[in-house]
């Protein structure tokens, strides 16, 4: 079984900018800057033959592209506290069209529809147990953090390897993005 997701890796300059903010909260499990990405569709655990079928379908699909903008900090929280600190990604029409196309391809090969509403972001840190206080202060102090804008050239099929210190991501394949919005095939 392979644990997979579709996403966009961030360019080096943006990863470097993110690396400068990854400290100051001792209870945080920070991401490694090289692993910073925008998830388009979490696939989950699938057999190898399903992964091959997905790769084949992705290779013949034309995906829309366009600029992506990261700005500010925010948190995913529960009643118990903050579960994750993240950078929001502006939900542009181009990004939403790309997400929808990824969802369609996954359903075409028989994967179940995603049950969660899409919330584009880059995770910075996770907290277990959930955190309070300092994390919310950091997010509030950085709501206008100027992350940056970039135009990705491709989306990536990632494999996630779970470990004690957090997940490690392996890039399995890349699929080009088309600059024309909405032109898919």
Which residues are marked as active site?
A: 37, 121
Buried b (16+ CB within 10 A) or exposed e, 77-88: beeeebbbbbbb
Please report, to the nearest 10 degrees, the dihedral formed by the alpha carbons of residues 111, 58, 68, 166 taken in order.
60
Measured distance CA(121)–CA(101) in Å, rounded:
18
Cβ atoms of residues 73 and 143 within 8 Å: yes
Measured distance CA(52)–CA(169) in Å, rounded:
18
- How wide is the angle at C-alpha 140 spanned by C-alphas 138 and 144, nearest 5°? 105
Among 69, 89, 67, 99, CA closest to 184: 99
Return the SS3 of 82: strand
Cβ atoms of residues 85 and 124 within 8 Å: yes
Q: Which tokens go with 96?
A: 């939403």
């Amino acid at each position: 079984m392979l644990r997979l997701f579709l996403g966009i890796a961030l360019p080096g300059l943006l990863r470097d900018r993110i690396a400068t903010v990854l400290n100051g909260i001792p209870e945080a499990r920070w991401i490694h800057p090289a692993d910073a990405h925008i998830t388009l569709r979490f696939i989950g655990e699938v057999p190898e033959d399903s992964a091959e079928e997905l790769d084949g379908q992705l290779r013949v699909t034309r995906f829309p592209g366009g600029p992506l903008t990261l700005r500010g900090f925010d948190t995913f929280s529960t009643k118990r506290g903050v579960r994750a600190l993240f950078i929001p990604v502006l939900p542009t029409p181009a990004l939403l069209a790309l997400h929808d196309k990824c969802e369609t391809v996954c359903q075409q090969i028989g994967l179940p529809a995603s049950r969660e509403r899409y919330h584009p972001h880059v995770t910075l840190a996770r907290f277990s147990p959930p955190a309070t206080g300092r994390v919310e202060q950091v997010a509030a102090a950085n709501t206008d953090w100027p992350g940056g804008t970039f135009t990705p050239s491709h989306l990536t099929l990632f494999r996630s390897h779970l470990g004690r210190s957090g997940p490690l991501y392996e890039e399995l394949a890349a699929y080009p993005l088309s600059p024309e919005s909405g032109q898919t095939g």
